[in-house]
Structure 1
Amino acid sequence: MNLSDQLSLTAKNNLHKTAYVFNGEETDYQTLEGSVTKFASSLQKLGYKKGDHIALVVGNTPHFIIGMYGAMRLGLTVIPVNPIYTADEIAYIVNNGDVKGVITLDILMEKFEQMVQLIPNVEHYIVGETTPDYDVTQSSLSDKAFSFTKLVYGGSLELNRPTLDDDDTAVILYTSGTTGKPKGAMLTHKNLYSNAKDVAEYLEIDAHDRVIAALPMFHVFCLTVALNAPLVNGSTVLVVPKFSPETVFQMTKDYQATVFAGVPTMYNYLLQYPNEDEKDLSSIRLCISGGASMPVALLEKFEQRFNVRVSEGYGLSEASPVTCFNPLDRPRKAGSIGQNIVNVENKVVDQDGNELPPGEVGELAVRGPNVMKGYYKMPEETEASIKDGWLYTGDMARMDEEGYFYIVDRKKDLVLVGGYNVYPREVEEVLYSHEKISEVAVIGVPDPELGEAVIAFVVSTDDSVTEENLMTLSKEKLAKYKIPKEIRFLEELPKNTTGKILRRSLRDQLASQQ
């Protein structure tokens, strides 16, 4: 089974049930299934065949859903790309990914017109219309440009579907590239389908659920948890074009949403939203947090304010992405990413790959049907990441006696102070415990005496909070070598499009000031 075939089966059993809602318009499963097939047939007429690569450079719109499922139905490999990337960033992915065609939006065509020389091998631009008066024939790329809408409506429901093998590459997700050029994680049909199915089962997502998709769909967290998993079981996806607390509260009220998935920053924004009259999540049965570790203080404040359970999990692009979640049939453990989900194994290992006993910190390794088959055109990086069937995540973790895992920090974010290990999250949790601190990020910087020193960046909700206040708090709860050398106040912390705090930007900021 694969996602494309599963969509056909779900549609057959739920013809008139709403598959997704976008800008107030509801689309049922029968219509979605027809659009996917017709789009696939139009791609076929353009000369696309199984194994070709197509980039998906759109935001949270129906174009993403139809484009991805339509391309996969034809056996193409889909490469989702962040639409706000620069021309150089997009060009690298398109060229490295051997992309034949680009699915994008009219509002992004000017960018592609300006960068056409950077991506000479692209044969087609399939343009989704967001405004009624857009005309692809007016584009300077008109000889290569096609209307997304016309391809859907002009397609055929008679499609000779290719056979999709479990190990065929369905999607290539390019990682953020924090340590160099982005790497393309090759996810197979088996990877994506198994993880969507297992996540839906583990979190009990079914046809009664209405799931808010406010995370960007090009990111693997949203792709699996808020799109693929709901569609596998016939849920309704509530598509949010761009996250804002106001939109989430309104969508929840209008459609009685039952599941919300977000990164910790989103939960912080929802909690800090000033209009108390609109802050209602009473229909939500489950909030899912991932993408980064959620501070315990934030989790507890959110649950208390909204009377809803927040289940924290863990994943990474290379694992499609989910490997752990806090189970729903027992109280969740604050600060834990939970236990193994169905069909997936996690373990904590030392530098030699030996499994460590409960309580000891080591690198988290993962094994299961969700683990990628490798990095595209990067055999050496693949060999370094996957050893004996286990994916080495680069995250430092520990496991307790009951099999719950805890992320200590990214391996690369470890700070060495005078030979002692300092995990930024441990320091961040202490600073987050101050009731007037809303955001924290801790990094290590070179220090002539100790090798490295701890620097903390904080965002406060009250100007009366001082560095002295926070230093006093740190001295009360942290060993001397863990105490920040300096605490800096910012109006906000730098984040990527999914809301993850960018420590690298903070390091660059410090370096530029020296």
Structure 2
Amino acid sequence: MNISSKLHENAKRLPDKPAYYFQDAACTYRELDGAVSKFASALLDMGVKKGDHIALLLGNSPHFVIGLYGAIRAGATVIPINPIYTPDEIGYIINNGDVKVVVALDLLIPLFEKMEDHLPKVEQLIFCETPKEKEQELDVTKLSIFPKMKSFTTVLASGNPLYQGPTINDEEVAVILYTSGTTGKPKGAMLTHKNIFSNAQDTANYLKIAEEDRVIATLPMFHVFCLTVALNAPLMNGGTIIIVPRFSPGDIFAITKKYEATVFAGVPTMYNFLLQYPEANVVDLQSLRLCISGGASMPVALLKSFEQKFNVLVSEGYGLSEAAPVTCFNPLDRPRKAGSIGMSIVNVENKVVDELGEEVPIGQVGELIVRGPNVMKGYYKLPEETAHTLRDGWLYTGDLAKMDDEGYFYIVDRKKDMIIVGGYNVYPREVEEVLYSHPAVVEVAVIGVPDMNFGEAVKSYVVTKENVTEQELLAYCQEHLAKYKLPSSIEFLEELPKNTTGKILRRALKDQVLSK
């Protein structure tokens, strides 16, 4: 079983039930399943073979849902990419991921036209139409990449709604999720059909998502949190997704009330914006039975304030791309513990170990490791990284945690120096590499600092060999990094703190910030 075949099964069982709502229009399970089959068969006609890689550069939309499930039904491997990444970031993932077909927003066509010579493996570009003003419309016939291009509408119209695709093995790779590595280059976590399906099904069952549930999907679908919790999980049990293109507090209140949504999934930043929204109406959220928080630790004060104001349970969980992603959630059948990521979900085992891999006593801090049917196959084309992360059947998360005597886990700190900006992961080394490439920069250290709106912000410290302004360095970063990875400030120092071996001590810089 995989997520696409489960969708087909639900379409036969619940043909006329809404699978999703988007911009006031409903799409039934029968209609969605037919569109998925048409897209899958059209890919076959375009020369896509089982195992080929297809990249999705899309926002939250029916295009993403049909593209994901259609590619999987065709036996292809899907690589979701954040469409606001810079050309450098997009180009690296497409080339490293051996992408054959790109499905992207039509707004990105000019970008691909400029990148054409740098993407030798891409054979086809399917562009998805977005509403725009007449003067903004694009004349695609004038672009040199045009022979490789087809519109999503045209591709879909050419497909067979009865096509069910090739036989797919559970251990074949369904999705490759690129996550930033400590070297600064993204690593592709290979998730099999078993990984994706089991985690979606187990999460849906653990959170009791059922046919009557209507789940708001406003987290980005290209991110594994939304992909599993707000997209795949509802479709596993016949629920309905409410697709929201972008997060806006006002829209969430209005949409929740209009569709009587029952489940909302978000990162702590979203909950803070909802709580602080001046026109917030408690009545608008009264249909919610459950709010899900992940992506970063939620401040206990925020959690309690939100629950008290809106009278709805907030269940915190934990996950990572390499685990498809969910490993823990606060259970719904017993008291929720504020500050905890909850307990192991069904079929997944979490454990806290020391440097030797031995389980530590209850209450003691160690590294969180995970095993289960959701754990990735490995990193794409990175056998050494895979061997380091997957050991003796366990996934080493790199996060420091502890467990209490009731089996609840708590994240204590990040073993790696990861910075979480509004739920997005930013690795210091990636930002440092960009700054290091500037000719005026000699040394760099990047840390995360507290931020009232986004949890954390990126702060950079630099040592330079010639005069350069903060504005010039920030402008340079904007050319090479996505917006959420950009430093909020750059501070100039005569020298950076180092240990006796010459290693730069980020922790010393962070301690200085926290002591102020």
- Which bin holds the TM-score, normalised by the shorter protein? 0.7 to 0.9
Give 1:23-422 correspondences, 5 Å limit: 23-131=23-131, 136-159=140-163, 161-177=165-181, 179-277=183-281, 280-413=284-417
Report the alpha carbon displacement of residue 118 of structure 1 after superposing the two structures with TM: 1.9
Deviations 1:178-237 (A, max 9, x none): 541000000000000000000000000011000000100000000000000001111110
SS in 2 for 1:509: strand
The 1-side partners of 2:449 and 2:76 are apart by 45
* Alpha carbons of structure 1 residues 27 and 178: separation in structure 2 relative to 1, 3 Å: farther
The AA in structure 2 aligned to 1:3 is: I
SS in 2 for 1:276: coil
Residues 291 and 500 in structure 1, CA contact (< 8 A), matched pair in contact too: no
Deviations 1:67-112 (A, max 9, x none): 0100000100000000000000000000000000100111111111
Residues 359 and 398 in structure 1, CA contact (< 8 A), matched pair in contact too: yes
SS in 1 for 2:50: coil
The 1-side partners of 2:448 and 2:121 are apart by 46
The AA in structure 2 aligned to 1:352 is: L
Give 1:420-499 correspondences, 5 Å limit: 457-459=450-452
User: Gaps (5+ residues) in structure 2?
Assistant: 421-425, 429-444, 454-481, 496-516
Residues 171 and 186 in structure 1, CA contact (< 8 A), matched pair in contact too: yes
Residues 386 and 392 in structure 1, CA contact (< 8 A), matched pair in contact too: yes
The AA in structure 1 aligned to 2:274 is: L
Correspondence for 2:503: none
SS in 1 for 2:368: strand
- Supply the RMSD in Å over aligned alpha carbons: 2.7
* Alpha carbons of structure 1 residues 312 and 137: separation in structure 2 relative to 1, 3 Å: same
SS in 2 for 1:166: coil
Report the alpha carbon displacement of residue 156 of structure 1 after superposing the two structures with TM: 1.1
Percent of aligned pairs sharing the same letter: 63
The 2-side partners of 1:202 and 1:125 are apart by 39
The 2-side partners of 1:168 and 1:223 are apart by 19
Report the alpha carbon displacement of residue 9 of structure 1 after superposing the two structures with TM: 0.3
Correspondence for 2:436: none
User: Gaps (5+ residues) in structure 1?
Assistant: 415-423, 426-440, 444-451, 461-498
Question: Which of structures 1 and 2 has the larger relative contact order (alpha carbons within 8 angstroms, sep 6+)?
Answer: 2
The 2-side partners of 1:513 and 1:37 are apart by 61
Report the alpha carbon displacement of residue 113 of structure 1 after superposing the two structures with TM: 1.2
Residues 249 and 279 in structure 1, CA contact (< 8 A), matched pair in contact too: no
SS in 2 for 1:108: helix
Correspondence for 2:423: none
Report the alpha carbon displacement of residue 159 of structure 1 after superposing the two structures with TM: 2.4
Deviations 1:436-461 (A, max 9, x none): xxxxx9x9xxxxxxxx9x9954539x
What's the TM-score once normalised by structure 2's chain length?
0.81
* Alpha carbons of structure 1 residues 205 and 511: separation in structure 2 relative to 1, 3 Å: farther
The 2-side partners of 1:513 and 1:281 are apart by 52
The 2-side partners of 1:267 and 1:202 are apart by 22
* Alpha carbons of structure 1 residues 380 and 225: separation in structure 2 relative to 1, 3 Å: same
* Structure 2 residue 490 is the aligned partner of structure 1 residue 509: yes
The 2-side partners of 1:380 and 1:83 are apart by 29
Correspondence for 1:466: none
What's the TM-score once normalised by structure 1's chain length?
0.82
Deviations 1:93-145 (A, max 9, x none): 00000000100111111111122122122110001111386665454321000
Residues 54 and 76 in structure 2, CA contact (< 8 A), matched pair in contact too: yes
Report how many aligned residue pairs link the two structures: 443
Report the alpha carbon displacement of residue 353 of structure 1 after superposing the two structures with TM: 0.5
Moved over 6 A (4+): 499-502
The 1-side partners of 2:450 and 2:47 are apart by 52
